[in-house]
Amino acid sequence: MILKGNIVDIPNQRVFKGEITIKDGKIFSVEEKQHNVNHYILPGFVDAHIHIESSMLVPSEFARIAVKHGTIATVSDPHEIANVLGVEGVEFMINNGKETPFKFNFGAPSCVPATSFESAGAVIDSEGIKTLMANPDIKYLAEMMNYPGVLFNDDEVLKKLAWAKHYNKPIDGHAPGLRGDDLTKYIQAGISTDHECFTFEEGLEKLQKGMKVLIREGSAAKNFEALIDLLPEHYENMMFCSDDKHPDDLLLHHINNLCARAVAKGMDVFKVLQVACVNPVKHYNLDVGLLNVGDFADCIVVEDLKDFKTLQTYINGELVFDEDISKIDSVPFEILNNFNTNKKEVSDFRYESSATLRLRSGQAKIRVIEALEGQLVTNEIIVESLLQDGNLVSNVEKDILKMTVVNRYQNQKPAIAFIKNFGLKKGAIASSVGHDSHNIIAVGVSDEAICKAVNLIIENKGGVCAVSDTIEKVVALPVAGIMSDQDAKTIGVQYAELDKMAKQLGSSLHAPYMTLSFMALLVIPSLKLSDKGLFDGNGFKYTNLEV
């Protein structure tokens, strides 16, 4: 097979008319030749850090959509399903991904459970990491979120790091806001990347100290604008990633969109493509071709080097996307899950205020999670919340809404907190996608609405939903309670409708469900909620709701 076009030579920063000959799935020759073909041929895009589960799609369905955007490989942390199903979940992701030509590169989840302050469905200890790291299908040790464990020399954490080093596999980091001497110690432990930078200064310090910095632009966390100006000088040590990308977003674009945005800012296209195509392959030692003779024929044909509209995608010389049609087929798979809690009563979401803290005005001072648009970090604010018959309730007028996290692995009393910036004026939204342990998380204007939403998730053994007085809408996620058994278009349309309903209920957030899913993510400061209680992410300890 011969491909003709303008060949993009990223290492030598040039474009030339030529032909690429492909034999047996590999590049046999690359020759300069004149012709009248005007499109461009370049290596495929690689998402350098993504949780496939957050697309709500199993790997084989994710692949069918990703190739439409020129993505041919991912560096994937199966951390989400591992927290539900353990090693069995990791094996499901690997085996399902192998059913397609797409190049999934899975890591060994380093923090299952993410912390001891929440209830997860499984545990992967250092012996489990040892077993996983010996597997050639495992390419790296996935994000070490337990950075306090690194800093304080936790024995289990150090053993996990040691097994990655023993097998000479990279170690991914996760250290939002970590700076100074603590950052230095974290890097010296062997941790090579970070995708959690949310300021230019933080990214610069991590680059200067030898880390690879990933520019993340997901459905909730959006750090592109904060970090992109680092690229011109540090392009050799940066990558693009999504981290978490919901299905409606994935249907629209992927890494190609970040390339287009960077080029639109006037950045050198070769530097941008080095970040998008080359650096992940080099850093993680991926079996992904880069248009060199002898490489796997992993390449894409794009209309131009401005918008990067994909015309064709090839993986191992196989045409997997052409003329707006994905040529990757759906495959059958077994549905696995871990969901063992009973339906709840409205009284379960009542929170009795301490009598000594009640004020004559019928209010109580409480700690409130302040959600921030486009960020995973939150603020802690102190506000006065409403009391009704001793029960702390939502203050819709001031956008201080009751929130709950419900253990989905066993019957336990729901944990209660309050949150600002969700903006709901009626009803409630809920999800069993709740990083990292994937318990049920919900926000609503009343205990009744919250209970209705939580029970809808329990009835479906997982999903995302929205409820009002008259409408109940749910997208079922039967695979581990976090992924659909449907194709991307079906789930993408359903999810978009649900997102629309959440906004009709009053939410002003760009991605209310993605934001909701991170409000139980304890390893990112400042204030979060686990199924066991309100959590201070800075002090890494529980804290009281009432002040």
pLDDT value for 402: 98
3-state helix vs strand vs coil in the chain, percent to 5: 30, 30, 40
Q: How far is Cα 165 from Cα 171, in angstroms, rounded to an integer?
A: 8
Residue 492: is it exposed, middle or buried by C-beta count within 10 angstroms (0-12/13-18/19+)?
buried
Q: How far is Cα 427 from Cα 506, in angstroms, rounded to an integer?
A: 9
pLDDT value for 359: 52
pLDDT value for 358: 55
pLDDT value for 376: 85
Report residue 77: phi and psi, to 5°: -100, 110
- For the chain, 547 residues long, give each residue's pLDDT as a single digit of tens: 999 999 999 999 999 999 999 999 999 999 999 999 999 999 999 999 999 999 999 999 999 999 999 999 999 999 999 999 999 999 999 999 999 999 999 999 999 998 889 999 999 999 999 999 999 999 999 999 988 899 999 999 999 999 999 999 999 999 999 999 999 999 999 999 999 999 999 999 999 999 999 999 998 789 999 999 999 999 999 999 999 998 889 999 999 999 999 999 999 999 999 999 999 999 999 999 999 999 999 999 999 999 999 999 999 999 999 999 999 999 999 999 999 999 999 999 999 987 545 554 556 799 999 999 988 899 999 998 889 988 999 999 999 999 999 999 999 999 999 999 999 999 999 999 999 999 999 999 999 999 999 999 999 999 999 999 999 999 999 999 999 999 999 998 999 999 999 999 999 999 899 899 999 999 889 999 999 999 999 998 999 999 9
The per-residue DSSP string of 88-140 comes to HHHHHHHHHHTTSSSEEEEEE-S-BSS-TTS--S--B-HHHHHHHHTSTTEEE
Kindly state the tokens that stand for 95: 């085996």
Q: How far is Cα 28 from Cα 31, in angstroms, rounded to an integer?
A: 10
Residue of 155, 85, 166 lying closest to 130 (CA atoms): 166
Query: How many contiguous H segments (helices) and E segments (strands) does the chain have?
Result: 17, 28
Residue 18: is it exposed, middle or buried by C-beta count within 10 angstroms (0-12/13-18/19+)?
buried
Report yes or no: 371 and 380 within 8 Å, Cβ to Cβ.
no
Give the C-alpha distances (Å, rounded to integers) separating 113 from 79, 122, 343, 437: 9, 7, 24, 7
Report yes or no: 51 and 76 within 8 Å, Cβ to Cβ.
yes
Report residue 389: phi and psi, to 5°: 55, 40
Q: How far is Cα 491 from Cα 394, in angstroms, rounded to an integer?
A: 31
